[in-house]
Amino acid sequence: MASNQLTAILVLVLTLLLQGNNNNVVEAQLTTNFYSTSCPNLLSTVQSAVKSAVNSEARMGASILRLFFHDCFVNGCDGSILLDDTSSFTGEQNAAPNRNSARGFNVIDNIKSAVEKACPGVVSCADILAIAARDSVVVLGGPNWNVKVGRRDARTASQAAANSNIPAPTSSLSQLISSFSAVGLSTRDMVALSGAHTIGQSRCTNFRARIYNETNINAAFATTRQRTCPRATGSGDGNLAPLDVTTAASFDNNYFKNLMTQRGLLHSDQVLFNGGSTDSIVRGYSNNPSSFNSDFAAAMIKMGDISPLTGSSGEIRKVCGRTN
């Protein structure tokens, strides 16, 4: 009798353990066809909205891509950056890396509205942002990749985590490597993803110290940037300059070519080619655009896998700026 009871208990425990493991596997898995039946027009809906937004303002492509990056680096790709502040938490939008610089929220909101009309309550804001980031790259001439989806949206956000986890424009090479490693991304992933700076612009306050104080910078390039970025803090802080001085609105490998001639705009750009361990990767990407494109696409997929909320975790927000 006791033996039978013990056997039954062991079988029950083993069954529960196996179910738990299976659930974890299922919950942690994103797929490229998650919405193929529940929202079949999702991809075309997002694509047309992104095309329209980027055609209206080329910089918007870089802004949406940056939103995704800043979302994933703070507690995973969970749409938390899209949440407005509430009485119960201070969100990420006013954290130092995002204040006065994160933009494109209105584009994501517009896409969400269109998706909600087609498939109400089905698609997460986190997934919309992931797809929109890919489409932004494609519309500017960059590589395509199959976006894995199935994420759910966070119910909270963390300004403190945004301040500590998002790499700063003043980062050293070792700090960049550590920041990316902390979320499971390799040094090569880091250099490839830094290539996102082939599009978009940065504010004077982010590169002022580099153009006035650093020596590993092309003199003519520094002089040009100084014309619209005064030395005095507080003067022209919001003035913009292209991160890629050659082709600011095209997704290509000129960013890496610029680094090799000491024309990286941010300190965190130029450290990638400054006599350190990543010089060879930069050189490779500057010589081989297809290598950069394929590595960038692979790194974006990898970044999209950072700690997603799946299964019964989180929620599907009706509006991206607030929880349900």
Question: Please, is 262 exposed, middle or buried when counting C-beta atoms within 10 Å of its C-beta (0-12, 13-18, 19+)?
Answer: middle
Residue 12 CB neighbours (<10 A) = 10
Cβ–Cβ < 8 Å for 289, 250 = no
Does the annotation list 315 as a binding residue? no
Q: Is 247 annotated as a binding residue?
A: yes
Element (H, E) at 203: strand 201-203
313 is in an annotated binding site: no
Residues with Cβ within 8 Å of 144's Cβ and at least 6 positions away in sequence, in order, are: 134, 137, 138, 297
Does residue 76 have a known ligand-binding role? yes
Which SS3 state, helix, strand or coil, does residue 50 take? Answer: helix
- Residue 90 marked as a ligand binder: no
Asked if residue 279 belongs to a known ligand binding site, the reply is no
Q: Name the nearest CA neighbour of 73 among 151, 199, 229, 183.
A: 183
Q: What is the CB-side half-sphere exposure of residue 287 using CA atoms within 13 A?
A: 6
User: Does 284 show up as a binding residue in the annotation?
Assistant: no
Asked whether residue 92 is marked as a ligand-binding residue, the answer is yes
Q: Exactly one of 34, 67, 70, 148 is catalytic; which is it?
A: 70
Is 70 a catalytic site residue?
yes
Annotated binding site for heme b: 197
Q: Binding site for substrate, residues?
A: 167
Residues annotated catalytic, as ranges = 70
Binding residues for Ca(2+): 71, 74, 76, 78, 80, 92, 198, 244, 247, 252
Q: Annotated binding site, which residues?
A: 71, 74, 76, 78, 80, 92, 167, 197-198, 244, 247, 252
